[in-house]
Chain A
């Protein structure tokens, strides 16, 4: 039986470093090529030597598909393509292709320029890598080669995030990347058609969470900001540059617009401006509201949000500032935080999760005195708020996607093992399909039951259709007569005459005969006549003929009578019928 093999090189029972190998119908595909944020050594990148010890990756991989621009999904791409060596096609959506190099460059700068690492990919390598990228459109079927085709579906999550449907023959796999089933202020919800893949590879970051409605969170957030501004306070929102930041910007921008607020909103500059540019361009990838109104006004043309300058932090009066990084561990957000921490009118809103050890984590846990470098302490008087804005599907969302796609098997990646276990149980229980959760380097094999296409001649099909009932009922399989011819690589179903002709064979007919002995004193002809009348009385509704040449024909069965050579009273009845599928029950009289 044909098999599909899935091997995670990263993201198997783990978050980060997404990299999954899929072998389907003799094709090898790499899904995502990410890096791990938590490591600075070799574990940072997936272990590409797993694929090939020596020899180029190009020979082993048919294509690489990147789902979206987050570094844990594309961070290792230049390393793989330029340093390990891969020249095959790389597929990603247009927005991903546009934004991905910005993030990679930023990542490179931090690692090489700030941390001083050597043996890292260069700017040129990023450029070269991007040259190998083939952009994808939504719902566009791209033929990678004669047999392998891929198609992208909208995934929400971040701008340009896509789910991919990979198909070889009748076998198919869907990889979701990261996705979001609830729409937000700038992106829509993930959607896929009922494509019934053999395996659905889904992320499961929030496998054990069901989230509250988005509206409550938004309302809370806006209310907090609004109140603080009205008090004359300053609001600091530490964010990571892309994704959530844009959502919050839109949220605040529209709120400012609606409520006619005048306080300035600033966005600390950096890569954001470049990225915002792309957000403006890729309107088709955003949600309904932005898509419908962009002709009047592009929502990403912020009216109230201006670029931040360091000196603005000391300006009097209320203001809102978005600053990077998101965990308050360094950079501009920390500087501003230090300035504003002393005033209880001010507020800091943490829109995401904070890693242990960062200032963000400390203040969220209620610490009011912070130790800074150089023995200085900082009194935290400002209000600290936490708002979770996350764009991953929660447990319900994952189930909803499964219901949409109706896969035959399920495979979970990009999540913690314990949580996956729970979801796995639920999936198996609700949908009664198999669910796998391989660890990194562990291969899952799924046997498939592909349908084999067979050509059939139109005449035969029509003839057979006409034979049956009034209408072909699709839910019931129908039997038909024909001959299957396997020639070279093709299968053909033809009528038997045609098959004989094609193969140059003679037709053989199979006839069954049997002798029945009867004790009957009458002459042969009389006996036959008696049999004829008897049959006529017994078998109503059948055509029974008495032919002049001394035979009785019941439908297609021939009956002949001859006297036995030994005893003229013993008559031998010869019954003969050809091979037929239809059997007439009770045709033979009791003798």
Chain B
């Protein structure tokens, strides 16, 4: 045992001797802290074997290098490169060279020669490929030097015949990225002896590799060609045949690239004529390509199928004859022609016998087909979409649906044809596909009129349990044209059914009926008596005004009546009353009507309906005038100025209510002016001139005002979208004033003063460009006094601030073009329910929240839900990003669940739910962080204004009755 121990001691001892020996250079390094290149050099010298060297290089790669020292580092790397025998190390060095040459501010042309030289001596294929990659990086960094490009392209030619696929790949990539776009590359200078010989351009060289033995090289060749195309070179038409041949390649990536290639060519030469093999006929190239790509929709690999389906959508020049074939699938049964279900449905509809039960053998085969005419593997575009829409992978189906959409939008007749297929997709097993096809149908619905049987299928989806689907369908119905009054009736019936089943869809259903009515007034007209259940002789009972279904019917009728003046004659008395009520309560759904004989009563409505585009302008003018008026405020007495501000604020608020287009702008101005008003009031306190600490009372109101101004400025900055930096500067300016006020009021402490001065500095930095516009303002004066301020004592500072605040005038607000206030409306819960939500205390209950958000930027990060319990507890919940949907521009929809929990209560009580807009001032600072290169430089920046984070409530609070019951034991 002892011997054993002794041995170990010796072992350790012997190690101790070695360590200082090794550590010396490392220590030195740390002390002197030489430049990066020197450090690397030492590291590499130290490396005894390749693994070590590799480790050093890997570590080195993690750290960034400044532009100045890149060249030095490159030299050292190259030096080691020549010495190094191990392939992996050389490979790493080569890749580092590429990485380094990407460094910003470093021009890599000085290392081109070295890089090319290393190529000629390199034996390892992998390293060769990596070096070529480096050259590619260098080449793309220097797009302005044709001579260099030529050299690189020469290098690529030379190595194209390498036996390793990676080298060939990279060479092709080089050619694709750097090959001359304008002129064919001459090889004369190398003499005629070379195998490439003569004058050959990049394209034909690349296309030689379409037949390479390695599929990866074939793909690279196709990609290089596509790259050339992207760079603006016109691809020759000869390539077309070669690309078509590659469509039948054994490897999917080749086929996929070939599909792209064929597509590119079909777009370049749509009208040129190509012969059909095995016949004398000729067709347009775009048609031929379309047929070939259609074929790929039934490819073995789903990636290719997706690619093909997508590509089809963008071939808009194809002849209608070919286009329609994609939906064609000739059916047969035992060699007899059969009609498709679609055709049968159409026929059934035409014969007037709608929705009869299916009879056995009604799909019985008809005429016998001539066996010769049946084309099983259709040589054209036959049935491409039929296949694509039935594909196993939903990715393919979605791509096909999208392609249908693109094609249908450009061809009304095709839209008509693909309708049946799209309607079929409403029944897909994957919701995404169903949703997508509904959206597509909506997009093309301007082209089509739904037949009754088609509408029937469409409407069947209204019962879907997914809210998204239903809403998408409502949206679709808003834009749909239908042909008969039966269709309207059918649609209404189904919508009412939907309403009955899913009462939460109320708003969406009403909106849908609004459009349905205004689109088809003449079709609604004959239905009116039935819909309103009026009778020529008898008075019918008055329907319940609160019934959502009745409201739905009324919305339909009133909207139809808008453009159908004869309709109101059919209304009964209570309908008019209901109209008046609905016009007031649901003014967005019920349009103003000209009702005969009742003009005196409803005259106001028709006047109200006046505001068209003209009035927007006048409102704009009014807004501008009020702002101008305010700017004269300096000349007024204090009380007069305050009155003027008060008045203007009131005016603006009213304007915002009246004119929804200008609501944002008006609100913005009003809030801004309110800030000014508050500031003015705070400064004009009578006792202001006294020594500050003496007047405590005034102090309180002024402090409150300062606080309020601060809050308002945050609202101004973050609640409104469309602000320009000018406005942001103005807002910040007000905030600065408020801060100054706070400083004056509160206490005189050095740290406070310092912080304020920092604020001023950061303001100056942020709005350097805006400063000229801020002349004569508070900040302008402040900046003049800045040298004095930074050195003076806090008491002095306060004094200066006090005077500057009082002297500085109102900053004129310039109105931005488009300004919108972020708003949120909580649709659900409605807050009307008297039934408390009961749950066991300590457990959670989920509350469904459905809200629409308007003009909120990046709602995923900013919108929060706040729940306020009666005991003052409040929770803020971050909804998942997936809970936000985007139904329209500037509009978001939040459908989420919040979990509530509380200890037991004795009786139900209300909690408040509201939406908050979170902000953090650092995120909006105008200097984008991307400008600051390496992370180190960021740290050097003075911690500017400490990020102020907060939330602004921007929706009305909704009260929800809840009742946590004590748990039963």
Contact = CB atoms under 8 A, between A and B. Distances in A.
Contacts of A192: 300
A224 interface: yes
Contact of A212 (B213, B340, B357): B340
A364 to B, nearest CB: 4
Interface string A200-244: 000000001111111111111011101000000000000000000
Nearest to B369: A208
Nearest to A257: B465
A471 B300 contact: no
Contact of B161 (A183, A189, A470): A470
B208 to A, nearest CB: 9
Given A210-B331, A289-B394, A220 B358 contact: yes
A386 B360 contact: yes
B457 interface: yes
Interface centre among B360, B457, B466 (most CB of A within 10 A): B360
A474 B374 CA distance: 38
A213 B457 contact: no
A490 B428 CA distance: 58
B341 A216 contact: yes
Interface residues of B, number: 52
Interface stretch (B45-53, B385-393, B411-419, B795-803): B385-393
Interface in B356-377: 357-361, 371, 374, 376-377
Interface in A446-485: 465, 469-475
B211 interface: yes
Interface in A567-587: none
A210 to B, nearest CB: 5
A183 B390 contact: yes
B335 A208 contact: yes
Contact of A226 (B195, B361, B390, B460): B460
Contact of A213 (B161, B300, B374, B389): B389
A503 B160 CA distance: 40
Contacts of A211: 331
Given A217-B341, A475-B211, A210 B360 contact: no
Interface stretch (A79-87, A105-113, A118-126, A418-426): A418-426
A214 B390 contact: yes
A135 B318 CA distance: 51
A224 B358 contact: yes
Interface residues of A, number: 60
A408 interface: no
Nearest to B392: A183
B850 interface: no
A215 B425 contact: yes
Contacts of B360: 364-366, 384, 386
Contacts of B391: 183, 189
Nearest to A255: B427
A162 to B, nearest CB: 17
Interface in B324-374: 329-335, 338, 340-342, 357-361, 371, 374
Contacts of A191: 300
A135 to B, nearest CB: 24
A465 B161 CA distance: 12
B875 interface: no
B430 interface: yes
Given A193-B300, A213-B329, A474-B212, A395 B424 contact: no
Contact of A260 (B335, B371, B463): B463
Contacts of B358: 220, 224, 385-386
B501 A470 contact: no
Contacts of A259: 463-465
Contacts of A385: 357-358
Interface in A161-204: 182-183, 185, 188-189, 191-194
Nearest to B168: A471
A212 B331 contact: yes
A146 B473 CA distance: 61
B317 interface: no
A288 B392 contact: yes
Contact of B195 (A208, A400, A430, A470): A470
A472 B300 contact: no
Contacts of A115: none
A209 B332 contact: yes
A403 interface: yes
A215 B390 contact: yes
Contacts of B784: none
Interface string A361-397: 0001110000000000000000111100000000110
A465 B330 CA distance: 53
A404 interface: yes
B161 A215 contact: no
Given A219-B427, A395-B376, A208 B334 contact: yes
B281 interface: no
Nearest to B298: A400
A246 to B, nearest CB: 14
Nearest to B336: A208
Q: How would you classify the secondary structure of chain B's contact residues: helix, strand, loop or mixed?
A: loop
Contacts of A222: 427
Nearest to B377: A399
A475 B245 CA distance: 13
Contacts of B161: 470-471
A258 interface: yes
A191 B389 CA distance: 17
Given A183-B390, A288-B393, A212 B341 contact: yes
B241 interface: no
A272 interface: no
Contacts of B465: 257-260
Contacts of A223: 457, 460
B250 interface: yes
Interface string B403-443: 00000000000000000010011011110000000000000
Contacts of B335: 208, 419, 422
Contacts of B383: 396
B464 A258 contact: yes
Nearest to B335: A208
B392 A189 contact: yes
B213 A474 contact: yes
Given A210-B329, A287-B392, A399 B340 contact: no
A284 interface: no
Interface string B450-478: 00000001001001111000000000000
Nearest to A214: B390
A254 interface: yes
B357 A469 contact: no
A216 B501 CA distance: 26
Nearest to B355: A227
Given A208-B335, A223-B460, A289 B342 contact: no
Contacts of A254: 429
B342 A473 contact: no
B457 A219 contact: yes
Contact of A425 (B331, B371, B464): B371
Contact of A474 (B211, B334, B421): B211
B377 A403 contact: yes
B327 to A, nearest CB: 10
Contacts of B463: 258-260
A287 B428 CA distance: 13
Contacts of B357: 383, 385
A216 B342 contact: yes
Contacts of B341: 212-213, 216-217, 220
Nearest to B343: A212
B559 to A, nearest CB: 29
20 contacts: A208-B332, A209-B333, A213-B329, A215-B425, A218-B427, A222-B427, A254-B429, A259-B463, A259-B465, A260-B465, A260-B501, A288-B393, A289-B430, A365-B360, A386-B360, A395-B376, A396-B329, A396-B376, A399-B376, A426-B376
Interface of B: 160-161, 163, 195, 211-213, 250, 298, 300, 329-335, 338, 340-342, 357-361, 371, 374, 376-377, 383, 386, 389-394, 421, 424-425, 427-430, 457, 460, 463-466, 501
